[in-house]
Amino acid sequence: MNYRNVSAAIALSVLCWLNLSTASASEIIFGVKAGGVDFDADGIDPTTIVSGQLGYEFLDLIAADIATELEITRSISDGESDSGDYSYASQALYLSARSIGPIYVIGRAGVIAAEVDYNSGGSVDDTGVAYGVGVGFSTGIRFELELTRYEFEDTDTTTLTLGVHF
């Protein structure tokens, strides 16, 4: 079993542990995002990504809603690097907070497992801490612009995504 399957299984176990069977529809979050991933390193260009998100809002505070989120990301086009074209994949489990109101701020922190596969052969993977901030607008459906940063193989990595959440 590879690290992707293990991390996905752990994340799904955590979500199940939260007893989703008693959750109302407004407490479960489904979302999709698209954007780019950029490695702050010479010789590797950004690539386009798409991700799916499943979350559970488990705590409503006066000023914010707290949720746990599983996010699975894949590149939809090959990126270019000095080592050849590459594809990107990641799985992350986050704890997030969203301020209340139709225009809101998002903050999140968690763990991410990411992998870069080179078409010429070989791959690089890493697991570490990730954090993100964003802004959103809600009319019942949430529209969010989010910036997430983490370190991948000692390289600062940034994703910028635009998403919709239900």
Q: Where are the domains of the chain?
A: 3-165
**Is the distance from CB of 37 to CB of 24 less than 8 angstroms?**
no
Residues 6+ apart with CB under 8 A from 47: 36, 37, 75, 77, 78, 79, 86, 87, 88
The two tokens of residue 97 are: 């907070």
**Is the distance from CB of 119 to CB of 128 less than 8 angstroms?**
no
The two tokens of residue 92 are: 């992350």
Q: How crowded is residue 139: how many other Cβ atoms within 10 Å of its Cβ?
A: 7
**Is the distance from CB of 165 to CB of 53 less than 8 angstroms?**
yes
pTM as predicted: 0.81
pLDDT at residue 152, rounded to an integer: 86
Q: Is 84 left (phi over 0), alpha (psi -120 to 50) or beta?
A: left
Is residue 67 packed enough to be buried (19+ CB in 10 Å), middle (13-18) or exposed (0-12)?
A: buried
Q: What residues pair up with 60 in beta bridges, in sequence order?
A: 65
Domain spanning 3-165: CATH 2.40.160.20 = yes
Residues 6+ apart with CB under 8 A from 7: 91, 93, 113, 127
pLDDT at residue 12, rounded to an integer: 52
Low-confidence ranges of the chain (pLDDT < 70): 1-26
Rounded CA-CA distance 6/115 in Å is: 14
Q: What residues pair up with 140 in beta bridges, in sequence order?
A: none
pLDDT at residue 24, rounded to an integer: 45
Residue-level length of the chain:
166
pLDDT at residue 77, rounded to an integer: 95
pLDDT at residue 153, rounded to an integer: 82
pLDDT at residue 5, rounded to an integer: 56
